[in-house]
Amino acid sequence: MRCSIVIAAFALLNTFAAADELPNVNITRWSEGKIEYRKASTGEVNGSEDWHITVHPDGSRTLETRNRLDVAGFQRHVVYRVAENFRPLEVTSVYWVKGEWRGTGLFAVNGRDLEAVIKTPDGMIRQSRAVPEHFSFIPHPLQSNAWPAWYYDKQKGGPQTMTVYDMDALAGAVSSMLGKMYDQTIELIGEEEMTTPAGTFDVEHYRIDDVVDLYISGPDAVLVKFVWSPMDAEYVLVEYRASGP
């Protein structure tokens, strides 16, 4: 009897291992990883982020994340899809702050229109506004912070303007998770090789507003490191796994 249970268990394991390897027509490739949130001066870990990227047949990418900044009492679930060129398509998100649910939102981009609908503790909020061709969302997983550089002109180089729709990280007051649109300055510093606990990566090093150093790698702009000096904060890729080439 025990033998048959073991055999059945192995049969099930084999079935699932094989199922994992079956091709799925909706998935071109995938990658996943873990980012540690650290106090830069001491290396103390104060939060983390698990993420998974799926690249689809039309080139669009879906980023799924769970992140937590324990020191500040934040926890978020975010799903963010961008087009092949990394222009935002949709975000869905759930924010918790200091033990309270603060909102669940959908932000959808259709051409030059952004429509947001958010369920908050005080009721539903809706927003409809115009967005430029070149912009990005900041829904606050760190991995999503690797994607605003998508329209940086490398041939031109130097400081360039990037526009972001930055969702309220605290989801506070009446506006809840609605974002604000503003410009930042981004500059490509160069290409480097960088080693983190997740491995060694060829990265592009960008600097944003002279306060953030951003290191990203590969066709899906995986965040390898993000250093926010004025906040004594750094975010480091510590685990990484990807589908085959």
Partner 1 sequence: MMHRVDADFRPLETSVTYWSKGAFTGTGLITVRGGTLNAVIDGPLGRVTHSIPVPDGFSIVPHPLATDSWHFWYFDKTKAGEQPSVIYNPQVAPRTGVPVLGNLETGTMTYEGEEEITVPAGTFTTDHFNLNGVIDVWMTGEDKLLVRYAMGVADLEYVLTDLSKGQH
Site string for partner 1, 57-96 (x = CB under 8 A): xx-x-x--------------x-x-x-------xx-x-x--
Nearer residue to partner 1 within complex by CB, 179 or 225: 179
> DSSP characters for 227-241?
EEGGGTEEEEEEEEE
Structure tokens at 130: 């115009």
What gap in Å lies between CA 20 and CA 25, rounded to an integer? 13
Closest contact distance (angstroms) between CB of 180 and partner 1 is: 21
Alpha carbon dihedral 228, 87, 152, 129, in 10-degree steps, equals: -80
Select from 104-112, 171-179, 190-198, 236-244 the region that touches partner 1 (CB under 8 A). 104-112
Residue from 43, 59, 100, 110 touching partner 1 (CB under 8 A): that is 110
- Which residue has 């507003």 as its token pair? 209
Structure tokens at 232: 């004594």
Q: Which of residues 13-52 bind partner 1 (CB under 8 A)?
A: 13, 16, 25-26
How would you class 149 by CB atoms within 10 Å of its CB: exposed for 0-12, middle for 13-18, buried for 19 or more?
buried
Residues that bind partner 1 (CB under 8 A): 5, 9, 12-13, 16, 25-26, 56-58, 60, 62, 77, 79, 81, 89-90, 92, 94, 101, 104-106, 108, 110, 115, 117, 119, 124
